[in-house]
Amino acid sequence: MTKDLSAFARERGIKYFMISFTDLFGGQRAKLVPTQAIADMQEEGAGFAGFATWLDLSPAHPDMFAIPDPSSVIQLPWKPEVAWVAADCIMEGTPVEQAPRNVLKAQIAKAAELGLNVKTGVEAEFFLVTTDGSEISDPADTAEKPCYDQQAVMRRYDVIAEICDYMLELGWGAYQNDHEDANGQFEMNWEFDDALKTADKHSFFKFMVKSIAEKHGLRATFMPKPFPGLTGNGCHCHVSVWDNDGTNAFADNDMPFGLSAKGKHFLGGIMKHASAMAVITNPTVNSYKRINAPRTMSGATWAPNTVTWTGNNRTHMVRVPGPGRFELRLPDGATNPYLLQAVIIAAGLDGMATNADPGPHYDIDMYKEGHSIKDAPRLPLNLLDALREMGSNEELQLAMGKEFSSAYLKLKQTEWNSYVSHFSRWERENTLDI
């Protein structure tokens, strides 16, 4: 584990550090710091005006400092003279409780008090599009069922292989890359890890993918639903919980699906809080065009719209593909890498504390037979519904931290208000002649 960033710079020939933090809306904020100043920054942090980012702060608040976490440092493979390092936000010597990385670290600490370590892996899907974002970048990518398309992935070999080479170089354990279910869409997978490490890697991955796409004259987007009629960008999250001795606390081969009592209660917490969690896992207006979408060109959305769970079946919100873990298929590409992990842990720990029952599992194809399940809750239809679900869920707000919950709900409500006050072309086309 790196302790001294100055020594790290000398060993690697680094000229600059990007001291980076993520705000409530998932925006990555950074200061570019010359190596000569990094020792002071490692001790005192880089100063920011919090109000200038998406945090619930005012211009009257004192300086916020981002303290780099040296264990997260990554030398940019495509620009080796620069290193990126995730940072924790403090103000007047105290952690900023609404800052997403701090929110996640607080949840990890709660799990640790129970002798538990949450490990996760994410599947961050993205589109490669033209620089103006108006269409996919490959005009030949037109197949009706483009998933795993061999020719299409090779036409973007230069971009995908360069990113994968870098993940291998960084020791992430990259193991597969594919063309996804939508034209122009890709997914790249690396090994699961401790929740904080996964969040840091997820944050860096988005930065890296966008940077390499730009290098090749393209644009990468993780937008949940950038094109009507095409499958949206999901960010499925695989979750397992481990005891201090390295035993998978979710695994029990004598139980249905190989899921232990602890695992089932953790899952119960996810099911219990799913509708409120959506405001974090699906945080934008556009998110609800993915999870409530009609059938796509390929024949399926691959996204849930109902709070149900199953075994190895991809049409439900939660899939248990094998013993000792489950896959949450709710999150999308806009989710904040740190808040995603934090809300999963918060909901799951609440489920364990209350012995929450996930309810019955279903083996049916939800896209064809979902109408036959009458009592399963539906996911929110829009961002406002999700805000209301979270706003009325005192348990989850408390579990995530009141300062965070208040700040997040306030800023997201402002975002919704901005959306509904916007005049659209649809309004004119459908109302001008009324």
Rounded to whole angstroms, the maximal C-alpha distance in the chain is 70
Percent of the chain whose predicted confidence (pLDDT) is above 90: 93
Tell me the C-alpha distance between 294 and 209, whole Å.
29
Please identify which residue in the block is written with the tokens 């490490």: 197
The answer to whether 241 touches 111, Cβ cutoff 8 Å, is: yes
Question: Span 142-167, mean pLDDT?
Answer: 97
How far is it, in rounded angstroms, from Cα 413 to Cα 272? 23
Say if strands 74-75 and 176-179 run parallel, antiparallel, or are unpaired. Answer: unpaired
- Mean pLDDT for the chain? 96
CATH architecture of 15-89: Roll (3.10)
The tokens of 84 are what?
């990126």
Strands 64-68 and 82-91: antiparallel
Q: β-pairing, 116-129 with 219-221?
A: antiparallel
For the segment 183-198, the average pLDDT, to the nearest whole number, is: 98
Burial class (CB in 10 A: 0-12, 13-18, 19+), 235: buried
Model confidence at 282: pLDDT above 90: yes
The pLDDT of 169-182, averaged and rounded, is 98
Sequence-distant (≥ 6) Cβ neighbours of residue 272 within 8 angstroms: 347, 350, 351, 354, 356
Report pLDDT digits (tens) over 247-277: 999 999 999 999 999 999 999 999 999 999 9
CA dist 102 and 158 (Å) reads: 36
Distance of CA 234 to the CA centre of its chain: 9
Average pLDDT of span 25-54: 97
SS3 120: strand
Give me the amino acid identity at 193.
D
CA 22 to CA 55: how far, in whole Å? 10
The fold for domain 106-425 equals Creatine Kinase; Chain A, domain 2 (3.30.590)
Q: What is the pLDDT of residues 379-418, one digit of tens each?
A: 999 999 999 999 999 999 999 999 999 999 999 999 999 9
Alpha-carbon span 273 to 347, nearest angstrom: 6
Which residues partner with 328 through β-bridges?
Answer: 237, 318
| Model pLDDT, residue 231 | 95
175 vs 188: CA distance, rounded Å: 8
Give the model's confidence band at 241: pLDDT under 50 very low, under 70 low, under 90 confident, else very high. very high
Question: Which pair of structure tokens corresponds to residue 81?
Answer: 């003279």
pLDDT at 295 over 80: no
pLDDT of residue 1 exceeding 60: no
Task: For residue 112, give every residue at least 6 positions away whose Cβ sits within 8 Å of its Cβ, in sequence order, or none.
Answer: none
pLDDT tens per residue across span 114-126: 999 999 999 999 9
Residue-level pLDDT at 294? 67
Distances, alpha carbon 409 to alpha carbons 170, 186, 191, 211, 416, in Å: 36, 32, 33, 31, 10
Per the CB < 8 A criterion, the answer to whether 14 and 75 are in contact is yes
pLDDT of amino acid 104: 98
Q: Where are the domains of the chain?
A: 15-89, 106-425
CA angle 169, 85, 57 (to 5 degrees): 145
Cα(69)–Cα(46) distance, integer angstroms: 12
- Nearest-angstrom CA–CA distance, 218 and 210: 9
Structure tokens at 326: 């489950």
